Amino acid sequence: MCENTSYAMPRIGDKAPEFKAVTTQGEINFPSDYSGSWVILFSHPADFTPVCTSEFMTFASMEKQFNEANCKLVGLSVDGLYSHIAWLRTIKEKIEYKGMKNVEVNFPLIEDITMEVARTYGMLQPGESSTKAVRAVFFIDPKGIIRTIIYYPLSLGRNFDELYRVLIGLQTADAFSVALPADWRPGDDVIVPPAGSCGVAKNRMEGKEDMKCYDWFFCTKKLDKEKVLKTVLKK
């Protein structure tokens, strides 16, 4: 691939670009191997680096929680397979961090020495680094559509509670046809679709519907935490 080839960065609502890759768990065809599941595809700058190590240990420790929400994890860096294997072995055998130890990373870590996948997904941002991927996070739905993209710089580790909140939020918005306000967490009120006619707006403002309206265009309703968790986590 030429140095100056330009890539259109994928956007929210796009189909996740397809690729075939070698990973620490064997070869994958992305995203077709994950059809029917949510996937979080994330990049990290380099193996054997401290922020990335803290992130991998955290993600691996939370993998079961993500899997229970029908979500698989797939990591990527521009390092090679043997570096990946050696780094993951070191993490398991040697690193104890914030109460996490013997952490086994069971999700696939893509080798991307050619940087082809990183470029396709806009994970290489030359102003930050031309040789290392930034910390990108793509949330891809069971139909292979990109639903959320978050980027972090090299110097700042991700907030994994937020990544989990985003996943549960996307699934909740889909399942209940609602939108979710600032800082929403399961159990908080949700936003109902805007009034589509003057009559509906009037009814809402007169308190004739089972919702709380701050104004005609901003109404919320209750959505039980149990109902959310039962739907999203099948619990």
Q: Pick the stretch among 49-57, 87-95, 180-188, 220-228 that binds ligand BEZ (CB under 6 A).
A: 49-57
Report if residue 52 touches ligand BEZ, rule: CB under 6 A.
yes
Q: For the CA atoms of the chain, what is the radius of gyration?
A: 20
The smaller minimum CB distance to ligand BEZ, of residues 49 and 61, is found at 49
Q: How far is the CB of 91 from ligand BEZ (least distance, A)?
A: 13
Kindly identify the residues of this chain, within the stretch 185-214, that bind ligand BEZ according to CB under 6 A.
none
b/e sequence 214-233, b meaning 16+ C-beta within 10 Å:
eeeeebbeebeeeebbeebe
Q: How far is the CB of 136 from ligand BEZ (least distance, A)?
A: 13
Q: How far is the CB of 155 from ligand BEZ (least distance, A)?
A: 6
Q: How far is the CB of 56 from ligand BEZ (least distance, A)?
A: 10
Q: Site for ligand BEZ (CB under 6 A): which residue of 132, 147, 158, 204?
A: 132
The smaller minimum CB distance to ligand BEZ, of residues 137 and 213, is found at 137
CB atoms within 10 A of CB 93: 9
CB atoms within 10 A of CB 154: 17
Cβ contacts of residue 82 below 8 Å, gap of 6+?
A: none
- Identify the H or E element spanning 58: helix 50-61
Closest C-alpha to 47, from 74, 76, 19, 23:
76
Q: Pick the stretch among 29-37, 47-55, 67-75, 113-121 that binds ligand BEZ (CB under 6 A).
A: 47-55
Which residues are the active-site residues?
Answer: 52
Answer for the pair 211, 221: CB distance below 8 angstroms, yes or no.
Answer: yes
Binding site for ligand BEZ (CB under 6 A): 45-46, 49-52, 132, 154-155
